[in-house]
Amino acid sequence: MLVFDGDGAVMGRLAARVAKHLINGEEVHVINAEKILISGNKNQIVERYRVRRRLKSKQNPEKSPKWPKRPDFLVRRIIRGMLPRKKAKGRNAFKKLRVYIGNPKNFEKTERIEAKELMKRTTVGELCAQLGWREQHG
């Protein structure tokens, strides 16, 4: 079992590394999902995810893509996009992923992915707060 600490990690790099371990058959836990960094202009990032949340199919709105507000579900959704989830290998890999807000199980041995100093960045927690996530984890 691998444990990745999201505190200060860049979203894309963390998600790619987690997806690679999942495809290799390992169980992966990601902690501190609300502290993962997304690089870029905050306003553009928030607007991009607001547009994604508003997309609806005219034919059947219930079958539209779902984009969550909670940080742990959002990180799961992003990692799911890097897995071949329509194949059995990808579905089985996705079942082995656990994402947590904070560190509820007090994991000690964690892998950290350090980020270079980013000029423009926002955290997943800040993004989710802009999308309407009200439950701030303390």
pLDDT in tens, 79-92: 999 999 899 999 99
Q: Is the pLDDT of residue 97 over 90?
A: yes
Q: Is the pLDDT of residue 136 over 80?
A: no
Q: Is the pLDDT of residue 96 over 60?
A: yes
How crowded is residue 112: how many other Cβ atoms within 10 Å of its Cβ?
12
Enumerate the H helices of 3-131 as residue ranges.
11-23, 42-54, 71-80, 88-95, 124-131
pTM to 2 decimal places: 0.89
* pLDDT in the model for residue 29: 96
φ/ψ (deg, to 5) at 2: -105, 145
Do 122 and 37 meet the contact criterion of CB atoms below 8 Å apart?
yes
Rounded CA gap, 74 and 6, in Å?
A: 13
Q: Is the pLDDT of residue 138 over 60?
A: no
Mean pLDDT of 127-138: 82
**7-49: per-residue pLDDT in tens?**
999 999 999 999 999 999 999 999 999 999 999 999 999 999 9
Query: Treating both helix axes as pointing N-terminal to C-terminal, what angle do 88-95 and 11-23 enclose, rounded to 10 degrees?
Result: 110
% the chain with pLDDT above 90: 78
Burial of 130 (0-12, 13-18, 19+ CB in 10 A): middle
